[in-house]
């Protein structure tokens, strides 16, 4: 998120306020499911990842509605991810696999 915010601040500093003000930007690398995310982590680690899902909350729980809505309706369906405008501002996006391989794997001592 930091590089995206910095790129936008630089646009303000460069006098391009009208180009970025009031716009929405998606700070993401790609669209994928939670299951895809675990596969990407496995690829980065080079190991099988075992995942256990907690049972979903009861429908009477307000968090349940949020979870089900997020599964049914994609976030920002009209936007390209990664956002090409951020790329044009010099933001470099990594992948989950790269992060796992370069940061998480050594942190876990693997």
Domain ranges of the chain: 2-107
Whether residue 23 has pLDDT greater than 90: yes
Q: Is the dihedral of CA 77, 79, 83, 86 positive or negative?
A: negative
The pLDDT tens digits for 59-97 are: 777 777 777 777 778 778 889 999 999 999 999 999 999
- More confidently predicted of 63 and 22: 22
CA–CA gap between residue 28 and residue 4 (Å, rounded): 10
H or E element at residue 106: helix 105-107
Alpha helix ranges (H) inside 32-103 = 34-45, 62-72, 84-88, 96-99
**In the predicted model, what is the mean pLDDT of the chain?**
88
- More confidently predicted of 36 and 61: 36
CA–CA gap between residue 49 and residue 4 (Å, rounded): 30
pLDDT value at position 63? 75
Overall pTM > 0.85? no
- More confidently predicted of 4 and 74: 4
Whether residue 55 has pLDDT greater than 90: no
């Amino acid at each position: 998120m930091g590089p995206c915010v910095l790129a936008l601040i630089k646009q303000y500093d460069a006098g391009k306020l009208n180009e970025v003000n009031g716009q929405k930007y998606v700070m993401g690398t790609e669209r994928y499911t939670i299951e895809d995310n675990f596969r990407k982590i496995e690829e980065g680690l080079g190991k099988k990842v075992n995942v256990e899902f907690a049972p979903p909350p009861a429908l009477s729980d307000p968090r349940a509605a949020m979870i089900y809505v997020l599964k049914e309706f994609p976030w920002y369906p009209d936007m390209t991810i990664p956002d090409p405008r951020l790329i044009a501002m010099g933001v470099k996006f990594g992948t989950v696999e790269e992060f796992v391989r370069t940061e998480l794997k050594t942190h876990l001592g693997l």
